[in-house]
């Protein structure tokens, strides 16, 4: 009950954007919209992992994951400049994940990039082959691993007032 009361007082960024008069012509967007709070309540709880594992990825795989983030998540909510994405890509390639806001943001970009790669298959193929399904599961697993690492660092974003910290909080929301 308490969560239901809280969600009625808060709006997500998407709800705020949909309220803009620019979207008056697209009534179906508003009619078919499901509040993020409702979707979050339907989601199964996250499974906590006991150790942090950073998988090895080739430079090309990292580039593709960051590009997927750029063309999906950052395309919808364009808050990250290309030079910052290049810095993040270099951090991931170096494997330098310490307990810093910058590492948290890099891992979050990787998690969201892997998730968008996994989901994009559903939109581009009407029938998934067994290889497509295996790729989708692998990308989902990678996204979960990266996101688990983000959860171990997200407290840092609450302790700093920087562009990176703000982006961590924005994208994790």
DSSP symbols for 2-70? HHHHHHHH---HHHHHHTSGGGTT-HHHHHH---HHHHHHHSPPPPPPSS-------HHHHHHHHHHHH
**Same-domain check for residues 106 and 162:** yes
Q: Is the pLDDT of residue 7 over 60?
A: no
50 occurs within a structural domain: no
* Distance (Å) of CA 163 to CA 24, 80, 105, 159: 32, 9, 10, 12
Give the confidence band of 117 by pLDDT, cuts at 50, 70, 90: very high
- Report yes or no on whether pTM surpasses 0.85: no
Among candidates 67, 82, 43, which has minimal Cα distance to 116?
Answer: 67
Residue 171 and residue 73 in contact, taking contact as beta carbons nearer than 8 Å: yes
**Distance between CA atoms of 78 and 165, rounded to whole angstroms?**
16
Q: What is the pLDDT of residues 119-146, one digit of tens each?
A: 887 777 778 888 888 988 999 999 999 9
**Same-domain check for residues 31 and 109:** no
Q: What is the pLDDT of residues 10-62, one digit of tens each?
A: 566 777 777 788 778 877 777 777 777 777 777 776 665 555 667 789 999 99
pLDDT at 8: 46
80: tokens are: 């990250």
**Same-domain check for residues 6 and 70:** no
pLDDT at 24: 81
Domain hosting residue 148, numbered range = 59-172
37 occurs within a structural domain: yes
Q: Number of helices and strands (H, E) in the chain?
A: 11, 0
**Distance between CA atoms of 15 and 17, rounded to whole angstroms?**
5
In total, how many domains does the chain have?
Answer: 2
31 occurs within a structural domain: yes
Average pLDDT along the chain? 83
11 occurs within a structural domain: yes
């Amino acid at each position: 009950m308490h969560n239901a009361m809280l969600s009625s007082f808060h709006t997500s960024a998407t709800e705020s954007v949909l309220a803009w008069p620019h979207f008056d012509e697209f009534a179906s967007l508003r009619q078919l919209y499901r509040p993020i709070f409702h979707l979050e309540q339907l989601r199964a709880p996250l499974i906590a992992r006991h150790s942090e594992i950073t998988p090895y990825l080739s430079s090309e795989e990292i580039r593709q994951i960051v590009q997927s983030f750029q063309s999906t998540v950052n395309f919808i909510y364009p808050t990250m400049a290309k030079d910052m994405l290049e810095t993040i890509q270099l951090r991931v390639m170096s494997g330098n994940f310490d307990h810093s806001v910058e590492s948290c943001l890099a891992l979050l970009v990787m998690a969201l990039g892997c998730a968008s790669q996994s989901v994009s298959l559903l939109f581009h193929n009407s029938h998934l082959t067994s290889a497509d399904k295996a790729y989708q599961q692998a990308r989902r697993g990678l996204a979960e691993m990266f996101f688990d690492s983000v959860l171990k660092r997200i407290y840092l974003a609450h302790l700093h007032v920087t562009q990176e910290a703000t982006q961590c909080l924005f994208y994790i929301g």
